[in-house]
Amino acid sequence: MESRYKSYKNIENLKDYIGETITLNGWVHNKTEKGKLVFIMLRDGSGFVQCVVFKGNVSEEIFENAKRLTQETSISLTGSVREDNRAPGGFEIDVTDLKIYHLAKDYPITPKEHGDAFLLENRHLWLRSSKQMAIMRVRAAVIKAIRDFFDGNGFKLMDSPILTPSACEGTSTLFETKYFDLGSAYLSQSGQLYAEASCMALGKVYTFGPTFRAERSKTRKHLTEFWMVEPEMPFFDLNDDMDLAEDLVEYIVRYCLKTCQKELEVLERDTTKLEKIKRPFYRMSYTEAVDWLHKNNIPLKKKIDGQEVDILPFPWGEDFGAVQEEAIMEQFDKPCIIHRYPAEAKAFYMKRDPENPKVVLAMDMLAPEKSGEIIGGSQREDDYDALYQRIVEHNLPLEAFQWYLDLRKYGSVPHSGFGLGVERTVKWITGAAHIRETIPFPRMIYRIVP
RNA sequence: UCCUGAGUAGCUCAGCUGGUUAGAGCAUCUGACUGUUAAUCAGAGGGUCGGGGGUUCAAGUCCCUCCUCAGGAGCCA
């Protein structure tokens, strides 16, 4: 493509330049000297390539400069591209010219092992490591897949506000901030309520953005700031909702398999497990899941007076914890949707099942390989009186939900939606050890820097 | 918030029952080598043992306290 700005050749396209002399810009990932040879592993963001400087091929000055190179020094180098099976990646550059932009000194991250705390403190530099780069590239692919899927299926993007006047669900804790003379505003913990309003205007919509939860949780599945995509569809019932969730997840996985082979290889991900992710996924109701727990003697683990006790059989009505989720998922090689949860355990806006008022038309999708919940969704309550009563029952401020109740006053329709957590999806697909590795700059309870 | 564990060189760690001048590997610097790819070999520099207090002739080591970090639970995407 002709462009008005400088365009450089990229390492990922090297196979198009075999035999040509090209200039590459990048950073020194590693360097080894061997007498009259200097090997430079060059990184440019698109990939890595080994470059060889031979004393006999360059001037004294260039060779001395090659010997001075340190890890993460930024350089521009020129040389011919050659296939070579001695080089990692299969290509090599015979360097004829070398220019140093900036000589880096004492780069803290070495090719050896490092601890988690150290790497997190140096997240701004850790991102340059090959595995972190690969995860970020998969993340970009996951987000692209999500947008392509919705844009290609008649959805409109309708962004929800990040500053909100009050809780969407009332349950989770919110980050609070001052808002001029209007008192407090809160960082959004879900765009759903606004997506519901949007879908009554534009039909199928999705909202995509950061979400904030001030929960004091400290696990490898939680961030205080994470990205969520939330589709909302008028005239969809719970079954349509579940079908859409399956289609989306299948599309994301297939897109990553198609476009991120190299990245998944760097991450040593077993892609045969991802190849199996095809519809139909598994489905069971909450009640069926509880029956299964009974049959397999899986207890409810509860803390009473600081003592952990096992309760058998698992009592109907209790929410599943990590123990139950993992036990259920162990039998599956594909995601499983669990639907129709006890009403008490779930949010106020979820519609009761007309066939069993003790449960709501909600669903969670659990991913295999101990990846946990990646989707939570429901059919929404569309009856004005029922919703009004729920808001009162949950002790939520009625005046804050007046606009939301309006949606049930002016042409209410059955509608459904769900939220998919981007980082949890990336964690599952990449096999990353911790969710903090799936977002460029993670925000966690005890870390906000860098 | 609760439970568990850890803080010693730039990094990853060892350091016994309290006992001379606190160690190793990597990284850094100097030198050797035309195939390294976490190179190898030879040499050099590098320490407030997380902070504070206490016990003792003597504390990295024992006690108290505070701080920081990690893992797990609950909550959730």
Q: What is the pLDDT of residues A234-269, one digit of tens each?
A: 999 999 999 999 999 999 999 999 999 999 999 999
Query: Is there contact between A191 and strand B, defined as CB under 7 Å from any strand atom?
Result: no
Residue A318 DSSP symbol: P
Chain B bases having any atom below 7 Å from a protein CB? 1-3, 10-13, 25-29, 32-40, 68-77
Q: Which of residues 254-293 of A touch strand B (CB under 7 A)?
A: none
Taking only the tens place, the pLDDT of each residue in A74-92 is 999 999 999 988 888 889 9
Q: How far is the CA of A141 from the C1' of B77 (A)?
A: 19
Q: How far is the CA of A322 from the C1' of B74 (A)?
A: 10
Q: Where are the beta strands (DSSP E) in A160-199?
A: 163-164, 176-178, 184-187
Least confident of A143-147, A154-158, A182-186, A409-413: A182-186
A110, closest nucleotide (Cα–C1'): B27
Distance CA A50, CA A80 (A): 12
Query: Is there contact between A310 and strand B, defined as CB under 7 Å from any strand atom?
Result: no
Cβ neighbour number for residue A258 with a 10 Å cutoff: 10
Q: Which of residues 53-82 of A touch strand B (CB under 7 A)?
A: 54, 56, 70-71
pLDDT greater than 70 at residue A304: no
- CB distance A328 to A291 below 8 Å: no
Q: How far is the CA of A396 from the C1' of B60 (A)?
A: 56
Give me the half-sphere count of Cα atoms (radius 13 Å) on the Cβ side of residue A427. Answer: 27
Query: Is there contact between A115 and strand B, defined as CB under 7 Å from any strand atom?
Result: yes
A323, closest nucleotide (Cα–C1'): B73
- Indicate the pTM of the whole model: 0.93
End-to-end CA distance of chain A: 36
A113, closest nucleotide (Cα–C1'): B12
Residue A228 identity (one-letter amino acid): M
Any residues with CB less than 8 A from the CB of A417 and at least 6 apart, and which? A192, A195, A196, A199, A230, A231, A232, A233, A236, A241, A377, A378, A380
Burial class (CB in 10 A: 0-12, 13-18, 19+), A424: buried
Long-range contacts: A391-394, Cβ < 8 Å, 24+? A391/A348, A393/A348, A394/A170, A394/A348
Structure tokens at A175: 């980050």
Any residues with CB less than 8 A from the CB of A369 and at least 6 apart, and which? A273, A428, A431
Q: How far is the CA of A30 from the C1' of B40 (A)?
A: 16
pLDDT at A171: 46
Any residues with CB less than 8 A from the CB of A343 and at least 6 apart, and which? A350, A352, A357, A358, A359, A360
Q: How far is the CA of A221 from the C1' of B28 (A)?
A: 38
pLDDT at A394: 84
Query: Is there contact between A394 and strand B, defined as CB under 7 Å from any strand atom?
Result: no
A37, closest nucleotide (Cα–C1'): B34
A306, closest nucleotide (Cα–C1'): B2
Any residues with CB less than 8 A from the CB of A402 and at least 6 apart, and which? none
Burial A267-281 (b: 16+ CB within 10 A, else e): bebebeebeebeeeb
- CB distance A294 to A313 below 8 Å: yes
Supply the Cα-derived Rg of chain A in whole angstroms. 26
pLDDT greater than 80 at residue A66: yes
Taking only the tens place, the pLDDT of each residue in A345-357 is 888 999 999 999 9
What would the mean pLDDT of A81-107 be, rounded to a whole number? Answer: 90
Distance CA A107, CA A327 (A): 44
Helix (H) or strand (E) run with residue A33 in it? strand A21-34
Query: Is there contact between A204 and strand B, defined as CB under 7 Å from any strand atom?
Result: no
pLDDT greater than 80 at residue A170: no
Query: Is there contact between A25 and strand B, defined as CB under 7 Å from any strand atom?
Result: no
